[in-house]
Amino acid sequence: MALIMVLDDVEDAGILIRRILERKGHDVVAFTEEEEAVAYTKKNAVDLAILDIKLKKMSGVDVLGEIKRISPTTRVIMLTGYPTLETARDASRLGADEYCVKPIDKEELEEKTAQVLAKTTI
């Protein structure tokens, strides 16, 4: 299946997403630190990055820009508990494939992940 990287400043959120997607057969690594996630993307062919918008040091939109610079083919789903039109526009402009509002529903996460990953095979 796919290699998925999750970045969320709340460790439990990353663990939850990892468990949900591992049950679907994906290899999932979760990070709470922006620098570690970006460094991982530099060394590994990540198929999908799931990024929280509110992080510790950088915004998820900033991390999205870094990841797309490093690996333009990596698909991205943005997560936020604080949805705004401006943030959605910024994420879309920088190449995010999907945008989900927290708390995320298990079925929605599975469905959006499948849809975004299917785009890579077209």
Distances (CA, A) of 8 to 119, 120, 121: 24, 24, 27
Topology of domain 3-119 in CATH is Rossmann fold (3.40.50)
pLDDT digits (tens, 9 = 90+) for 52-100: 999 999 999 999 999 999 999 999 999 988 777 887 788 888 889 998 8
Domain boundaries, the chain: 3-119
pLDDT digits (tens, 9 = 90+) for 22-57: 999 999 999 999 999 999 999 999 999 999 999 999
Identify the residue whose tokens are 């468990």: 19
Q: How many CA atoms lie within 13 A of 120 on its CB side?
A: 16
- Predicted TM-score (pTM) of this structure: 0.92
Amino acid of residue 3:
L
